[in-house]
Homo-oligomer: A and B are copies of this chain.
Amino acid sequence: MGADFATVTPSYSDLRIDPDRLIRRINELGEIGKIEGTIGCARLALTDDDKAGRDLVMTWMQDLDLDISIDGVGNVIATMPHTADVAPVMTGSHIDTVATGGRYDGNLGVLAGLEVIETVITSGVTLERPLAVGWFTDEEGARFAPDMLGSLVYVGGMPIEDALEIEDADGVNVGDELTRIGYRGPVPCPGPAPHAFVELHIEQGPVLEDEDVTIGVVEGVQGISWTELTLQGQSCHAGTTPLRMRHDPGVVASRVCCFIRDLALEMGPSQVATVGVMNFEPNLINVVPDVVTMTIDLRNTDESLLQDAEERVRSYIDEIATSEGVEVESRTLARFEPVSFDPRVIDMVEAAAHKQHLSSRRLPSGAGHDAQMLARVCPTAMVFVPSVNGISHNVTEFTEAVDIEAGANVLLQTLLSLTETEF
């Protein structure tokens, strides 16, 4: 069923958020858990600082007379009061951060959603469906693994009982911490499926800035394959041992590192490949290493291509390790299939950018987001805005005010379109 313009005011597409109010709130929230001498902050999930951040955002939700629900895993959803009992169009993200976090990652999506709702309420526009904004518990996973925990539980991907028992490094569990900070709510999990979901987030990468594009239209999330290799060779003297008698795991590791780079280049831009960890033992200048451990991070937006990459890497490792006489132990550390967002919602994000004369490009997300969980239960997409120097999870994380304003306005128009779209 197509759009129905009957119940919205004619000024609908002229609505714009208030950038000063939004940025004021981002900065006010960023003061909580602030890392002194920086613009970064640390609000690990369910800590006192996370509670203080939650309490602050809660007051803003209450000021707007939104219906606030807190569920059993501490997800907080604020919905505009509405005459009809219909599923809301939802936005949101998270407000927990990593230990060296910035003030934009996650927070932007929650506060921009709040700003969109305040803008709509202030305008007096009547919507066919209400808007809702939420934050999900422990998206970062920096304190409690796995990441995206709250949204995973929200969509029924993990039983709440299991989630509550997850412990941090000190043996403190999610359930006790939720109770302690007062966010173990009465609303059951999984939660109700929204009509649709759109998340605004910083890119956390360099592509938009590099191409001088304001709006990233996110088509999906890359699939991830993480492997740890332990390469067992034979330590020997770098001077006295001829090459033909060596079993050098450092050479095997290096060849694998070169191979995955070359493979990704050959496969094209959908494939990325990284060796982030490399440890030589004994790590002495004149000793051929005994053992090398390394990690391989492969990502692709296409599951079959990702499988193909994995297979080719596996087969190369076998070949090169055999030829060097090195033993390989391989362990999968993580494996997630790619997530594709809803083409109709993707189109609507792109159209909203276009109508506002904002430059845009489609791109995948290289990082995980709550939206990929919501995509299991409703039509979903994301909006990215540029990260200066591509930096995030770092106290220097920054996004320009003009980009924040643009992203929030694209979010606003997309959400409004979704209120009048039936799927």
Contacts and interface: CB of A to CB of B under 8 A. Distances in A.
Interface of A: 203-207, 210, 222, 224, 226, 228, 236-245, 248, 250-251, 253-255, 257-258, 261, 264-265, 269, 272-280, 283-289, 292, 295, 297, 299, 333, 365-367, 390, 392-393
B278 A265 contact: no
B280 A277 contact: yes
A295 B284 CA distance: 9
A243 B265 contact: yes
Interface centre among A203, A237, A251, A272 (most CB of B within 10 A): A237
B239 A224 contact: yes
Contacts of A248: 261, 274
Contact of A285 (B241, B251, B276, B392): B276
A321 to B, nearest CB: 14
A366 B276 contact: no
15 contacts: A210-B245, A226-B285, A237-B390, A237-B393, A238-B299, A239-B366, A241-B366, A241-B390, A251-B257, A258-B258, A274-B286, A276-B284, A276-B287, A276-B289, A278-B283
Contact of A237 (B244, B258, B277, B392): B392
A292 B9 CA distance: 59
A51 to B, nearest CB: 28
Name which of A236, A269, A288 has the most chain B CB atoms within 10 A of its CB: A236
A278 B226 CA distance: 21
Given A205-B240, A245-B210, A366-B237, A288 B276 contact: yes
Given A250-B278, A253-B254, 7 more contacts: A206-B241, A210-B245, A226-B285, A242-B272, A243-B273, A274-B288, A279-B280
Given A226-B285, A261-B251, A240 B204 contact: yes
A288 B297 CA distance: 10
Given A261-B251, A390-B236, A279 B283 contact: yes
Contact of A240 (B203, B278, B289): B203
Given A258-B254, A366-B240, A245 B206 contact: yes
Residue among A206, A269, A284 with the highest chain B CB neighbour number at 10 A: A206
A340 to B, nearest CB: 16
Q: Which of A224, A250, A254 has the most chain B CB atoms inside 10 A of its CB?
A: A254
Contacts of A277: 280, 283-285
Contact of A239 (B222, B236, B245, B280): B222
Given A254-B253, A254-B257, A241 B272 contact: yes
Contact of A365 (B205, B240, B280, B392): B240
Contacts of A287: 276
Nearest to A251: B261
Contacts of A292: 278
Given A205-B240, A241-B206, A280 B276 contact: yes
Nearest to A387: B240
A261 B320 CA distance: 13
Nearest to A288: B274
Nearest to A267: B243
A240 B386 CA distance: 12
Most chain B Cβ neighbours within 10 Å, of A236, A238, A241: A238
A316 B197 CA distance: 51
